[in-house]
Amino acid sequence: MITYENFFLYRIRFQSFCDSFFKHHLSLSVNSHSSNSPAMSTSESKLDVVDENKVEIVDRSQKAKDEEKVEKEEGGFLDKVKDFIHDIGEKIEETIGFGKPTADVSAIHIPKINLERADIVVDVLVKNPNPVPIPLIDINYLVESDGRKLVSGLIPDAGTLKAHGEETVKIPLTLIYDDIKSTYNDINPGMIIPYRIKVDLIVDVPVLGRLTLPMEKRGEIPIPKKPDVDIEKIQFQKFSLEETVAILHVRLENLNDFDLGLNDLDCEVWLSDVSIGKAEITDSIKLDKNGSGLVNVPITFRPKDFGSALWDMIRGKGTGYTIKGNVDVDTPFGAMKLPIIKEGGETRIKKDDDNDDDDE
């Protein structure tokens, strides 16, 4: 039984056989004409002996024309036979249902984004209407912004598309922000830039040959910038030399052109170059684009570890601090983990019953 998969092999072999047969037949026909026409001298070129008593004068040029006509008729017949076989093959192929695959960008994901890079996955939905699997030879991709190339690449030997089916081909690519910022001076952290992703799938389809399926998708992507952080004041709730409970009034400023939804903050704090420990909150607040917000971070520490710096804090003098940590935020482009850091800052120490009129 001839299956879809080996139909083309049979057809090629049959076509080759027919070509060989017709060439051989034509060669025999020509040789036959040559053998039936004995060589004649110049003086005999106008004579054809019919029998002993009759001599018929024949126009040899006319005879050559007749032979040429016969050969043309034979050649025309062979051409018609070959065309007939070719037409049959095409009809069978049409019946089987070979056609051009289709492809479209169905989705774009950003599974990871931070200050250094953005990992992007492009989902391409490909439909193969053919009864046989077809190879996906190459994938070419280009990401550009306002006509300027951000990244490009080639994925060779990308797999095989199953027969009479559809599947999603995932194309991973990465934008390195330092490369982009060093190439284009007008692209800065905190911005949102437009992009266009262009993808070419190169497939090899039986009968149709090698085809290129172009597609593109437009969108926006951020160049994130870390928030600015400041400890406005430290307010004591319980004070003793052995253990003090305090609230850090931490202001976060969003320096991006998109909103940040704060889900978590973890940090370590130093006062007068002495670590008072780590702190964490899980409260959710929204930081509007280019806006700020205040979060209260509870922390427990031992004041006696500060030595002489403790008396400066108690007397309400400014206290130097350092804060380092991370914030987990939601954005229109997906979740991000952004660092926060402030060194050489100065804050105030306040008792729990102090007036907080300066708070927002």
Nearest CA among 152, 302, 144, 325 for reference residue 231: 325
pLDDT of residue 38: 47
- The answer to whether residues 167 and 269 belong to one domain is no
DSSP string, 271-302: ETTEEEEEEEE---EEE-TT-EEEEEEEEEE-
The predicted pLDDT at position 255 comes to: 97
Output the domain CATH number for residue 212: 2.60.40.1820
Residues 188 and 272 in one domain: no
Q: Which of 196, 222, 248 is the last residue of a domain?
A: 222
Report which secondary-structure segment, H or E, holds 349: strand 334-350
Nearest to 7 by CA among 89, 74, 69, 64: 89
What CA–CA distance (Å, rounded) separates 254 from 170? 33
Contact 120, 108 (CB under 8 A): yes
Task: Give the end of a domain, one of 175, 194, 222.
Answer: 222
What pLDDT, on the 0 to 100 scale, is given for residue 360? 46
pLDDT in the model for residue 112:
93
Tell me: do 295 and 326 sit in the same domain: yes
Q: Number of folded domains in the chain? A: 2
pLDDT score recorded for residue 63: 60
Quote the pLDDT of residue 70.
57
206, 97 contact by CB (below 8 A): no
**Inside any domain, residue 33:** no
Residue 258 maps to a domain? yes
- Residues 68 and 62: their CA atoms lie apart, in Å, by 10
HSE (side-chain half, CA atoms, 13 Å) at 133: 8
The residue out of 202, 222, 242 marking a domain boundary is 222
The predicted pLDDT at position 278 comes to: 87
* Same domain assignment for residues 216 and 237: no
Same domain, 194 and 250: no
Q: Are 260 and 182 contained in the same domain?
A: no
Whether residues 202 and 109 fall in one domain: yes
Closest CA to 141 of 112, 113, 103: 103
pLDDT at 264: 93
Tell me: do 190 and 176 sit in the same domain. Answer: yes
Amino acid occupying residue 197: I
Q: What is the pLDDT of residue 40?
A: 43
pLDDT at residue 62, rounded to an integer: 63
Which phi and psi angles does 248 have, rounded to 5°?
-90, 120
Whether 79 is covered by a domain: the verdict is no
C-alpha closest to that of 231 among 168, 289, 295, 181? 295
Alpha helix (H) residue ranges in 185-261? none
- The verdict on residue 68 lying in a domain is no
Task: Specify whether 236 is located in the same domain as 205.
Answer: no
What's the DSSP call for residue 184? Answer: -
In a domain, 127, yes or no: yes
Residue whose pair of structure tokens reads 């008729």 in the numeric block: 73
Position 43 scores a pLDDT of 42
Task: Note whether residue 32 is domain-resident.
Answer: no
For residue 45, the model assigns a pLDDT of 41
Q: What is the pLDDT along the chain (360 residues), one digit of tens a residue?
A: 444 445 555 455 556 655 665 565 555 454 554 555 444 444 444 434 444 454 444 455 666 666 666 566 555 665 665 565 555 555 555 555 568 899 999 999 999 999 999 999 999 999 989 888 999 999 999 999 999 999 999 999 888 899 888 999 999 999 999 999 888 989 999 999 999 999 999 998 887 888 999 999 999 999 999 999 999 988 888 877 778 888 999 999 999 999 999 999 999 999 878 888 888 887 789 999 999 999 998 988 877 776 666 666 666 666 788 999 999 999 999 999 999 999 988 887 666 655 555 544
Pairing assessment for the beta strands 319-331 and 192-205 based on DSSP bridges: unpaired
- For residues 201 and 302, state if they share a domain: no
Identify the domain containing residue 326 by its residue range. 228-350
Pairing of strands 134-145, 148-161: antiparallel
- Same domain? For 235 and 319 the reply is yes
pTM over 0.85: no
**Residue 265 is encoded by which pair of tokens?**
């903050």
Does any domain span residue 357? Answer: no
pLDDT of residue 353: 57
Are residues 274 and 209 part of one domain? Answer: no
Q: Which residues pair with 126 in a beta bridge?
A: 103, 167
What per-residue confidence (pLDDT) applies to 126? 94
Torsion angle defined by CA atoms of residues 178, 179, 185 and 189, in that order, rounded to the nearest 10 degrees = -30
